[in-house]
Structure 1
Amino acid sequence: MQYQFVVEEKKAQPTISVRTRTAVENLPQVLGKAYGAIMNYLFEIGVQPAGEPYVGYFNMDMQDLDLECGLPVAQPVVGNDKLKPSEIPAGKQVSCLYTGPYNQIEPAYNAIMAWIPANGYTPTGVCYEFYLNDPAETPENELLTKIVFLLK
């Protein structure tokens, strides 16, 4: 599959999120619970999401993923005991779009990770997935995921 890579300079994006650790096989349950809590909280405080749900990965240890799942908001919000205000940092980033089942995304990661050094960039070690459509309403082979790597 061919991927198109886009390098952009982005402003910081405020978010409300949950930071946790989990094994990759537990991701669907962990993310479902976290997104439900985030949506309920935003509803309670009368705030609309300002973008797509995301997961930020701070390592790639499939048995102990350090991740943040959240939703962008237009302005910083106050968190609660489980949900924290956060942000997707400002800076240079490269992205590509992947279409298909979440469990078959690895070739897209391999492609972007090869593209980064081949084009003179260095990753920070943090990457994000933005989920552009709803897996409850979209066939698996049509799921759209934007993969973003932060660059130094």
Structure 2
Amino acid sequence: MGKISEIMLLKQPEQFALAVEVRTDMNGMSKAIGGNFVRIDSLFKEQREVTTDIPYVEYPDFESLTEQNIRMIIGLKSPKELQGKEDIQSIIIPERKIVSCLHRGTYAELATLYNEMMEWIKSNGYKASGTSIEYYYTGPDAPEEEQVTRVEMPLL
């Protein structure tokens, strides 16, 4: 199916989050993401707080990822600053401009959306930061072709 919204330029306010940085390979991605979402959610529950958005995975320098070397920041946004624990850090996501779009379909099809978003950024006179963030609206049990993902690209 592909893109299910227009590519939009948005101003994102400063936000708090709990996040953990992970390095893995393609085979370990699903386990790393799922396991860390559970760990971070448990830390929210310990502090009697709820997330303000759906889970996200940030890919710093996404254009240089390889199947063997994937750097991810896995997180959940919070309404206020929370306490980190062990390797889970309390972070502040700065106010920034982002380009955002919703996608439905397989993760393999996301490459087309990424290319379209990068072209949109360039043709509208902006510069991408090199980071992408994916928000997962559907769980791993949903059929792959029904996966809904919001992709954001912060701008410089």
Calculate the TM-score normalised by the size of structure 2: 0.89
CA distances 1:36-93 after superposition (whole Å, capped 9, x unpaired): 1111121122111111100011123223222200101100101011211113321111
Give the 3-state SS of the residue equivalent to 1:125 in structure 2.
coil
Distance of 2:105 and 2:92 partners within structure 1? 27
Q: Which runs of 5+ in 2 are unaligned?
A: none
Return closer, same or farther for 1:87/1:142 CA change in 2, 3 Å cut-off: farther
Contact kept? 1:31, 1:69, Cα under 8 Å: yes
Q: Percent identity?
A: 27
1:94 aligns with 2:99: yes
1:145 is displaced (CA, Å) by 0.6
Contact kept? 2:47, 2:82, Cα under 8 Å: no
* Aligned residue in 2 for 1:11: 13
Give the 3-state SS of the residue equivalent to 2:32 in structure 1.
helix
Q: How does 1:70-109 map to 2 (within 5 A)?
A: 70-109=75-114
Distance of 2:57 and 2:121 partners within structure 1? 20
Distance of 1:22 and 1:135 partners within structure 2? 18
State which drifts further: 17-26 or 27-36. Answer: 17-26
Contact kept? 1:20, 1:67, Cα under 8 Å: yes
Q: How does 1:1-150 map to 2 (within 5 A)?
A: 1=2, 4-60=6-62, 61-62=65-66, 63-136=68-141, 138-150=142-154
Distance of 2:106 and 2:122 partners within structure 1? 27
Contact kept? 2:15, 2:78, Cα under 8 Å: yes
1:101 is displaced (CA, Å) by 2.0
Q: Which runs of 5+ in 1 are unaligned?
A: none
Contact kept? 1:58, 1:65, Cα under 8 Å: no
1:151 to 147, 152, 155: 155
Contact kept? 1:59, 1:65, Cα under 8 Å: no
Return closer, same or farther for 1:142/1:87 CA change in 2, 3 Å cut-off: farther
The size of the alignment, in residue pairs, is 151
Contact kept? 1:76, 1:85, Cα under 8 Å: yes
Distance of 1:135 and 1:30 partners within structure 2? 13
Calculate the TM-score normalised by the size of structure 1: 0.91
CA distances 1:114-136 after superposition (whole Å, capped 9, x unpaired): 21111111011111001123333
Structure 1 runs (4+) greater than 3 angstroms displaced: none
